[in-house]
Structure 1
Amino acid sequence: MFNVITIEREYGAGGSVIADQLARHFGWELLDQELTSRIAVEANVSHSVVKSCDECVDRGLRRLAKVFWRGSYERMLPMQDERVFNADCMVDLATKIIGEAGEEGRCVIVGRGAPYILRNRKDTFHVFLYAPRDFKIQRLSHRMGEKEATELVDTIDRERAEFIKRYFNKDWPCRSLYHMMINTSFGLDLAVESILSAMKTHEMATVAVR
């Protein structure tokens, strides 16, 4: 039986909304912004470190770190501490926390490399969400300008791919990793229904084989 769902998503495809609906359906914990908070607490971050190390950080690592920390509303998430520029340390912390969440179960985890970290768990259902570029821009334009939406759609996923390649040595998305890949332009509610149906079908098939 599945006890964990990981949601990997293209920016603007509605991944956070879908993850929230799935968590509510099962009564599970949603680890999206909460996951970011847990990593920040574990790292004991502070604003003073931001100022002390800002100028001696490799720009590439700084950008990768920001990609990792971004949650459902990437552009609005404040950086808690620029010590996260040490992306290697950050990934180590995330691997620990996500691994613990996988052990505890009953959670939906959004991004942060979770599908790669939990790839060997049989009780975890992995989903990748994507959508056409125009759909994502139009959807995002409701809460930001079209120009900004276009810029973010064209850059954030490229940064995510770079992050996954650097720390997990995989192309993004790694198609063989997921149970499902869904085009959300057909409707977010339909995507949720499809995921629930697929999970139920997979579990029934597994029981039948036994």
Structure 2
Amino acid sequence: MSDQLIITLGREFGSGGHAIAVELANRYGIKLYDHNLLDAVAAEKNVDVETLRRYDEKPKKLLFSRSQNGFSSSAEENVAFLQFEYLKKKADEGESFIVVGRCAETVLGDRPNVISLFVLGDREVKCKRVMEVYDLSERDAQFKMERHDKYRKQYHNYYCKDKWGDSRAYDLCINSSRLGFDETVNELEDYINRRRKMFK
């Protein structure tokens, strides 16, 4: 069994996907790449991280950008490709990690030790969680959920052949609302452990 473990985790907003990724990273003792991925990219490329953050996981503005000779005028696209290349580099170096979003199930999909997950949830449960976490009214929570998922979907579907949230694009999709946080993590850990035994 190979020692390298790469977990990619896509998620609906409010599903608790990020918190689940944090717990899985802790259980396996591996690095978590989410927003901090920009810190690593900025340090490596010697650029301002706050500039990168403005364009993180944002869909490309097709009307105001163009590509020529392999170069893009789109800041969103350039930031995306910087992150994709960084993840590929870390995977090629043999690092184990879990990455949240960033089209990682596609970007790293050709690696043999990748397990791709997608966390979704019931709308009512997600809304309640967003209301509590962000101290929002139900209406504002629903708006925030819809906006974030819209951007994630547009971002993902621009760079990936498989559609965001389509079960065929992932090894396992799980509804965190049904089991709750702890049992969802336990189920994912069990699946990951069984899959790891198949790694060469």
Matched to 2:79, the amino acid is: M
Give the Å deviation of 1:18: 0.6
Q: Which residue of 1 aligns with 2:110?
A: 120
Aligned to 1:77: none
Per-residue deviation, 1:201: 2.1
Q: Secondary structure at the match of 1:12?
A: coil
Distance 1:191 1:46, change over 3 A: closer
2:128 to 138, 153, 171: 138
Q: Deviation digits for residues 148-200 of structure 1, max 9, x if unmatched?
A: 32111112111111111212243112322211100001211111111111122
The answer on 1:91 being equivalent to 2:80 is yes
How far apart, CA to CA, are the structure 2 residues paired with 1:85 and 1:10? 25
The total of aligned residue pairs comes to 180
Choose which of 159, 175, 182 in structure 2 pairs with 1:189.
Answer: 182
Tell me the TM-score normalised to structure 2 length.
0.79
Equivalent position to 1:67, from 57, 71, 79: 57
Structure 2: give runs of 5+ residues left out of the alignment: 60-72
Counterpart for residue 34 of structure 1 = 36
State whether residues 119 and 177 of structure 1, in contact with CA within 8 Å, keep that contact through their aligned partners in structure 2.
Answer: no
Q: Secondary structure at the match of 2:132?
A: coil
CA, structure 1 residues 88+161, in 2 after alignment: closer, same or farther (shift >3 Å)?
Answer: same
In the alignment, does 2:60 pair up with 1:44?
Answer: no
Partners in 1 of 2:162 and 2:196 — Cα distance? 28
1:100 aligns with 2:89: yes
The aligned residue for residue 195 of structure 2 is: 202
Counterparts in 2 of 1:142 and 1:85: CA distance versus 1, 3 Å: farther
Tell me the amino acid that sits aligned with residue 131 of structure 1.
G
Q: Is the 8 A contact 2:24 2:185 kept in 1?
A: yes
State the partner residue of 2:170. 178
CA distance in 2 between partners of 1:100 and 1:162 (Å): 25
1:17-64 residue CA offsets vs partner (Å, 9 max, x unmatched): 1111111111111111221222333361377x79xxxxxxxxxxxx9x
Cα distance per residue 1:97-137 (max 9 Å; x no partner): 11122233221111111111011111011100000111111
Q: Percent identity?
A: 22
Please state whether the residue corresponding to 1:109 is helix, strand or coil: strand
Mean CA deviation greater in 85-94 or 135-144 = 85-94
Q: Which is richer in helix?
A: 1
1:40 and 1:149 mapped to 2: Cα distance? 32
Query: Are the equivalent residues in 2 in contact too, given 1:6–1:124 (CA < 8 A)?
Result: yes
Instruction: Tell me if structure 2 keeps the 8 A contact 1:131–1:184.
Output: yes
Counterpart code for 2:105? P
Distance 1:10 1:17 in 2: 12
Structure 1 unaligned blocks of 5 or more: 51-62, 70-83
1:162 to 154, 161, 164: 154
Distance 2:49 2:176 in 1: 38
Residue 157 of structure 2 aligns with an amino acid whose one-letter code is K
